[in-house]
Amino acid sequence: MDSLTINTNSGSYSVYIGTGIRNKWRELIDYASYSSFFIVTDEAVEARYLSSIQGHEDIPTFVVPSGEGSKSFAMYHQVMTALLKADLDRKSCIIALGGGVVGDLAGFAAATYMRGIDFIQIPTTLLAHDSSVGGKTGINHEVGKNLIGAFHQPSAVIFDTECLRTLPDQEWRSGFSEVIKHALIHDEHFLQWLMKRGKRVQDYTDEELQFIIKKGISVKGAIVKEDEHEKGIRAYLNFGHTLGHAIESELGYGTMTHGEAVAIGMIYALKLSEEYFQTTLRMDEITKWFQEIGLPTAVPKELSTNKLVERMKKDKKAENKTLQFVLLKKIGQPVKVKIDDEDALELLRSSIEGSGAH
Ligand SMILES: NC(=O)c1ccc[n+]([C@@H]2O[C@H](COP(=O)([O-])OP(=O)(O)OC[C@H]3O[C@@H](n4cnc5c(N)ncnc54)[C@H](O)[C@@H]3O)[C@@H](O)[C@H]2O)c1
C-alpha cells in the first residue's frame, strides 16, 4: 500500500492507494472518534462491492441509481432525508463508496448536513482519483453542471485499485482522460510514459495502477495545496473542462461520460493553445493517441457551436461573461487566457465531427 498526504488550509488528510484495501477502511481512519457511519453508494457498486466493506451490515446504506442523473436536487433531498431518519449527528461520518457521482453527492450531503460533518471517500472508478481529492462537492442544475455545491475536504481517501478491474471500458477511458489531463498540465515525462504504455486496464499491473493514481493525485494535491478555493492556479485543473462541461450540458448529462467530453475539450484547448502561442504541442500525435484509446476528439455534429459558446460563457469559471480557457504554453505549463467569442467559435466550427479536421 502507498499513501500520500493532501495539505489544505482547512486541514490535511491521507490518501491510501493499494490493492484490496477497501475492507481495511476501519484501520485506516480514526474509527473510534465517530459516533456512527452512513454509506452512500450506487446500484452498480452496491452489487459488486458493498459486501466487501468491513462491517457494512451494521451501517445504514443509501443506494442511488447509477449515473450522472443522481447528482440532482431530488436525490440530494432523498439522501438528506435518509441521513435525518438514521439520526446522524455531528460526530457521524458518511462513507462515499463509488465513482465521482457518489463522491460529489455524498460529499455535498456531508458538507451541508447539520452545517457539515465528516466524510471519507472509497473511490471505485479511475476518474475518482480526480474527484475524490480536493474537496469539491456538489450537484447539477439544468442551467449547468456542478453549479450547486460546497468545498468540503474528505477526512480520508481509500483508493482500492482492485475495483478498477470491473470498470466497463468506457468508464476506464473516462478516468484515463483525467489522468492524461494531469500529465498534460504538469508532467511531460508522465505523459510520455502514458503514451508508450497500454490503453486498457488489462495492460497495467496493480503496481502500475497504483503509480498512475498516485501521480494523478499528486498533481491535483500540489495544486489544491496552493489554491484550495480556486482563486488562481486551481483553475488549471479545468484544462479541457470549459468545452467539456458545455458539451455534457448540451448533450444532456450522462449521454457522454465526463472524461469523453473532457477529451474533446482537451483537443480543442490544445489546438487553441497552438494557435494562440504560435507553438506546436504534438497535436497530431496526441489526437491519434486519443483515437487509439477510443476517446472522442471532435465535437458531436448534432451540437450547435453558438449554443456551446453561450454555455461556455455561463461556466462558473467565466468572468463577466468573457470566455476563459486554460491553455498550454507548452506541456506542463498551463495559463489562463481570455479568448474572443469569434475566435473560439471559428475553431469550434472546425472541430465539429466530419469537418475534416479529424
Ligand atoms: N469533485 C471533483 O473535483 C470532480 C472532478 C472530476 C469529476 N467530477 C465528477 O465526477 C463525476 C463522474 O465520475 P465517474 O466517472 O466516476 O462516474 P460515476 O460515478 O457515474 O461512475 C461511472 C459508472 O461506473 C459505475 N461503476 C463505478 N465503479 C465501478 C466499478 N468498480 N466497476 C464497475 N462499475 C463501476 C457506476 O455505477 C457508473 O455507472 C461527474 O459528475 C463529474 O462532474 C468531480
Considering the candidates 22, 145, 215, 220, report the single residue annotated as catalytic.
220
Confidence of residue 316 (pLDDT cuts 50, 70, 90): low
Whether the Cβ atoms of residue 3 and residue 12 lie closer than 8 Å to each other: no
The answer to whether residue 186 is catalytic is no
Predicted pLDDT of residue 317: 65
- How far does the centroid of ligand 1 lie from the alpha carbon of residue 277, in Å? 34
220 is catalytic: yes
Q: Which atom of ligand 1 is nearest to the CA of 43?
A: 37
Q: Is 311 one of the catalytic residues? A: no
- Other Cβ atoms within 10 Å of 288 Cβ, number: 12
Both ends of the chain: CA-CA distance in Å?
42
Torsions phi, psi for 228 (to 5 deg)? -60, -40
Distance CA 76, CA 107 (A): 10
**pLDDT tens by residue, 331-350:** 999 999 999 999 999 999 99
- CB-ligand 1 contact for 218 (6 Å cutoff): no
90 is catalytic: no
User: How far does the centroid of ligand 1 lie from the alpha carbon of residue 172, in Å?
Assistant: 10
Task: Round to whole Å and give the CA distance between 56 and 231.
Answer: 39
- The model's confidence at residue 10, banded by pLDDT at 50, 70 and 90, is confident
- Hey, what domains does the chain have and what are their CATH numbers? 2-166 (3.40.50.1970), 169-349 (1.20.1090.10)
Distance of CA 71 to the CA centre of its chain: 13
Ligand 1 atom closest to 107 (CA): 1
247 CB neighbour count, 10 Å cutoff = 23
pTM for the structure as a whole: 0.93
Report CA-CA distances (Å) from 294 to 25, 171, 178, 240, 330: 34, 11, 14, 17, 25
In the residue annotation, 140 being an active-site residue is answered as no
Catalytic residue (one of 258, 260, 271, 311):
258
Share of the chain above pLDDT 90, in %: 87
Q: What amino acid occupies position 322? A: T
pLDDT tens-digit map of 201-232? 999 999 999 999 999 999 999 999 998 888 88
Assess whether pLDDT exceeds 70 at residue 311. Answer: yes
E strands, the chain, where?
Answer: 2-8, 11-18, 37-42, 61-64, 93-98, 118-123, 136-141, 144-151, 156-160, 323-330, 333-339
